[in-house]
Protein backbone atom coordinates (compact mmCIF):
# COMPACT_ATOMS: atom_id res chain seq x y z
CA UNK A 1 0.00 0.00 0.00
CA UNK A 2 1.40 3.38 -1.02
CA UNK A 3 0.85 5.52 2.06
CA UNK A 4 4.11 7.35 2.73
CA UNK A 5 6.23 10.12 1.23
CA UNK A 6 10.01 9.83 1.19
CA UNK A 7 12.67 12.51 1.31
CA UNK A 8 16.00 11.81 -0.36
CA UNK A 9 18.39 11.91 2.59
CA UNK A 10 21.83 12.30 1.03
CA UNK A 11 22.50 16.05 1.12
CA UNK A 12 20.61 19.32 1.37
CA UNK A 13 17.48 20.54 3.15
CA UNK A 14 16.14 17.21 4.36
CA UNK A 15 14.99 17.97 7.91
CA UNK A 16 12.78 20.90 6.90
CA UNK A 17 10.81 18.69 4.50
CA UNK A 18 10.46 16.01 7.16
CA UNK A 19 9.15 18.57 9.67
CA UNK A 20 6.51 19.87 7.24
CA UNK A 21 5.31 16.36 6.38
CA UNK A 22 5.13 15.36 10.04
CA UNK A 23 3.10 18.50 10.81
CA UNK A 24 0.51 17.23 8.33
CA UNK A 25 0.18 13.95 10.19
CA UNK A 26 2.19 12.03 7.61
CA UNK A 27 4.98 9.56 8.33
CA UNK A 28 7.93 10.52 6.12
CA UNK A 29 10.65 8.08 5.11
CA UNK A 30 14.33 9.01 4.93
CA UNK A 31 15.52 7.56 1.62
CA UNK A 32 19.15 6.47 1.66
CA UNK A 33 18.99 3.10 -0.08
CA UNK A 34 16.93 1.41 -2.77
CA UNK A 35 14.70 -0.54 -0.38
CA UNK A 36 13.59 2.74 1.24
CA UNK A 37 11.69 3.44 -1.98
CA UNK A 38 9.44 0.42 -1.57
CA UNK A 39 5.76 1.36 -1.77
CA UNK A 40 6.32 5.12 -1.53
CA UNK A 41 3.50 7.27 -2.86
CA UNK A 42 5.88 10.14 -3.45
CA UNK A 43 9.49 11.24 -3.16
CA UNK A 44 10.86 14.71 -2.45
CA UNK A 45 14.26 15.60 -3.87
CA UNK A 46 15.40 18.48 -1.64
CA UNK A 47 17.38 21.59 -2.35
CA UNK A 48 21.13 21.38 -1.95
CA UNK A 49 23.86 21.12 -4.57
CA UNK A 50 22.63 19.36 -7.68
CA UNK A 51 26.02 18.08 -8.87
CA UNK A 52 26.77 16.67 -5.42
CA UNK A 53 23.32 15.10 -5.15
CA UNK A 54 23.66 13.53 -8.59
CA UNK A 55 27.01 11.98 -7.62
CA UNK A 56 25.61 10.67 -4.35
CA UNK A 57 22.62 9.16 -6.13
CA UNK A 58 25.11 7.26 -8.31
CA UNK A 59 27.34 6.28 -5.38
CA UNK A 60 24.38 4.97 -3.38
CA UNK A 61 23.05 3.16 -6.48
CA UNK A 62 19.72 4.98 -6.36
CA UNK A 63 19.37 6.27 -9.91
CA UNK A 64 17.82 3.15 -11.45
CA UNK A 65 15.62 2.39 -8.40
CA UNK A 66 14.26 5.96 -8.40
CA UNK A 67 13.47 5.77 -12.11
CA UNK A 68 11.85 2.35 -11.67
CA UNK A 69 9.73 3.52 -8.71
CA UNK A 70 8.69 6.58 -10.70
CA UNK A 71 7.67 4.46 -13.68
CA UNK A 72 5.65 2.30 -11.27
CA UNK A 73 3.56 5.25 -10.07
CA UNK A 74 5.59 7.10 -7.45
CA UNK A 75 5.22 10.90 -7.73
CA UNK A 76 8.26 13.15 -7.47
CA UNK A 77 8.73 16.72 -6.24
CA UNK A 78 12.02 18.47 -6.87
CA UNK A 79 12.81 21.68 -4.98
CA UNK A 80 15.61 23.89 -6.33
CA UNK A 81 18.45 21.36 -6.86
CA UNK A 82 15.81 18.64 -6.95
CA UNK A 83 14.11 20.39 -9.86
CA UNK A 84 17.42 20.29 -11.72
CA UNK A 85 17.75 16.56 -11.04
CA UNK A 86 14.35 15.71 -12.53
CA UNK A 87 14.59 17.99 -15.60
CA UNK A 88 14.85 16.27 -18.98
CA UNK A 89 17.04 19.09 -20.26
CA UNK A 90 19.64 21.21 -18.43
CA UNK A 91 21.24 24.14 -20.21
CA UNK A 92 24.85 23.28 -21.15
CA UNK A 93 24.80 20.12 -18.99
CA UNK A 94 23.89 16.46 -19.21
CA UNK A 95 20.54 15.67 -17.52
CA UNK A 96 20.44 13.46 -14.45
CA UNK A 97 17.18 11.57 -13.75
CA UNK A 98 15.37 13.20 -16.71
CA UNK A 99 11.85 12.52 -15.43
CA UNK A 100 10.00 15.77 -16.18
CA UNK A 101 9.63 17.51 -19.52
CA UNK A 102 11.18 20.81 -18.51
CA UNK A 103 14.37 22.67 -19.36
CA UNK A 104 16.25 24.35 -16.53
CA UNK A 105 19.10 26.84 -16.35
CA UNK A 106 21.09 26.07 -13.19
CA UNK A 107 21.83 28.99 -10.81
CA UNK A 108 20.23 31.35 -13.34
CA UNK A 109 19.00 33.71 -10.61
CA UNK A 110 22.61 34.34 -9.62
CA UNK A 111 24.99 33.29 -6.83
CA UNK A 112 24.14 32.90 -3.18
CA UNK A 113 24.52 36.61 -2.43
CA UNK A 114 21.63 37.27 -4.83
CA UNK A 115 19.21 35.11 -2.85
CA UNK A 116 15.80 36.72 -2.34
CA UNK A 117 12.21 36.23 -1.26
CA UNK A 118 8.90 37.13 -2.81
CA UNK A 119 5.32 36.91 -1.63
CA UNK A 120 2.95 35.57 -4.26
CA UNK A 121 -0.46 34.04 -4.71
CA UNK A 122 -0.48 30.56 -6.24
CA UNK A 123 -4.20 29.73 -6.48
CA UNK A 124 -3.67 26.03 -7.19
CA UNK A 125 -1.60 25.66 -4.02
CA UNK A 126 -3.23 27.93 -1.42
CA UNK A 127 -5.95 30.60 -1.15
CA UNK A 128 -3.59 33.09 0.52
CA UNK A 129 -0.18 34.47 -0.55
CA UNK A 130 2.91 32.37 0.16
CA UNK A 131 6.49 33.35 0.92
CA UNK A 132 8.88 31.95 -1.70
CA UNK A 133 12.60 31.72 -0.93
CA UNK A 134 15.14 31.61 -3.78
CA UNK A 135 18.71 30.46 -3.05
CA UNK A 136 21.03 30.02 -6.07
CA UNK A 137 17.82 29.10 -7.80
CA UNK A 138 17.42 27.57 -11.26
CA UNK A 139 15.04 28.98 -13.82
CA UNK A 140 12.63 26.81 -15.79
CA UNK A 141 13.10 28.06 -19.33
CA UNK A 142 10.82 25.64 -21.20
CA UNK A 143 7.94 23.32 -20.39
CA UNK A 144 6.62 20.41 -22.42
CA UNK A 145 3.10 19.99 -23.73
CA UNK A 146 1.81 18.17 -20.66
CA UNK A 147 3.41 20.46 -18.08
CA UNK A 148 1.32 23.11 -16.35
CA UNK A 149 2.94 26.37 -15.20
CA UNK A 150 2.01 27.15 -11.60
CA UNK A 151 4.01 30.35 -11.07
CA UNK A 152 6.32 32.83 -12.75
CA UNK A 153 8.75 35.22 -11.11
CA UNK A 154 9.60 38.33 -13.12
CA UNK A 155 8.40 36.56 -16.24
CA UNK A 156 10.39 33.38 -15.57
CA UNK A 157 8.77 30.04 -14.74
CA UNK A 158 9.59 29.03 -11.16
CA UNK A 159 6.96 26.37 -10.42
CA UNK A 160 5.44 23.76 -12.71
CA UNK A 161 3.83 20.36 -12.60
CA UNK A 162 2.92 17.40 -14.73
CA UNK A 163 0.65 14.53 -13.73
CA UNK A 164 3.65 12.77 -12.20
CA UNK A 165 5.99 15.56 -11.08
CA UNK A 166 6.14 18.87 -9.25
CA UNK A 167 9.09 21.24 -9.67
CA UNK A 168 9.82 24.43 -7.72
CA UNK A 169 12.82 26.70 -8.19
CA UNK A 170 12.30 28.01 -4.66
CA UNK A 171 12.30 26.38 -1.22
CA UNK A 172 8.80 25.92 0.29
CA UNK A 173 10.40 24.06 3.20
CA UNK A 174 12.08 27.31 4.32
CA UNK A 175 8.66 28.85 4.85
CA UNK A 176 6.42 28.02 7.80
CA UNK A 177 3.55 27.23 5.43
CA UNK A 178 2.62 23.60 4.87
CA UNK A 179 0.61 24.46 1.72
CA UNK A 180 3.04 22.99 -0.82
CA UNK A 181 3.57 19.80 1.18
CA UNK A 182 -0.20 19.42 1.58
CA UNK A 183 -0.61 19.90 -2.17
CA UNK A 184 2.05 17.30 -2.97
CA UNK A 185 0.55 14.81 -0.52
CA UNK A 186 -2.82 15.13 -2.24
CA UNK A 187 -1.10 14.78 -5.62
CA UNK A 188 0.26 11.49 -4.29
CA UNK A 189 -3.25 10.39 -3.41
CA UNK A 190 -2.76 10.64 0.36
CA UNK A 191 -5.36 11.88 2.83
CA UNK A 192 -3.98 14.66 5.02
CA UNK A 193 -5.63 14.49 8.42
CA UNK A 194 -3.96 17.47 10.06
CA UNK A 195 -5.33 20.99 9.65
CA UNK A 196 -1.96 22.56 10.55
CA UNK A 197 -1.16 25.33 8.09
CA UNK A 198 2.06 26.66 9.67
CA UNK A 199 5.05 25.07 11.39
CA UNK A 200 7.47 27.03 13.60
CA UNK A 201 10.74 27.84 11.89
CA UNK A 202 13.89 26.81 13.68
CA UNK A 203 16.61 29.35 14.36
CA UNK A 204 18.74 27.54 11.78
CA UNK A 205 16.05 27.85 9.12
CA UNK A 206 15.53 31.54 9.85
CA UNK A 207 19.27 32.13 9.58
CA UNK A 208 19.45 30.11 6.37
CA UNK A 209 16.75 32.22 4.74
CA UNK A 210 18.74 35.38 5.44
CA UNK A 211 22.31 34.27 4.94
CA UNK A 212 22.12 32.16 1.80
| Relative orientation angle of helices 179-187 and 14-23, to the nearest 10 degrees | 80
Q: What is the distance between the alpha carbons of residues 100 and 95, in angstroms, rounded to a whole number?
A: 11
Name the residue among 87, 86, 151 with its Cα closest to residue 119. Answer: 151
In contact, 87 and 118? CB cutoff 8 Å: no
* DSSP code per residue over 57-113: HHHTT-HHHHHHHHHTT-EEEEETHHHHHHEEEETTB--SS--EEEEEETTTT-SGG
Strand, coil or helix: what is 161? strand
Known active-site residue 171 = yes
From the list 20, 96, 173, 188, the catalytic residue is 173
From the list 96, 171, 181, 188, the catalytic residue is 171
From the list 20, 80, 161, 181, the catalytic residue is 80
Give the residue numbers marked as catalytic: 80, 171, 173
Amino acid sequence: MRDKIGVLDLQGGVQEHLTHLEALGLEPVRVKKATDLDNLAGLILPGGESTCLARLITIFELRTPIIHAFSSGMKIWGTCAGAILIAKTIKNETPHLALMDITVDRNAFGPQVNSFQETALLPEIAPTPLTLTFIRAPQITHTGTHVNVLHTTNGTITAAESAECLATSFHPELSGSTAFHRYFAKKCGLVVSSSVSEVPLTAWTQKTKISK
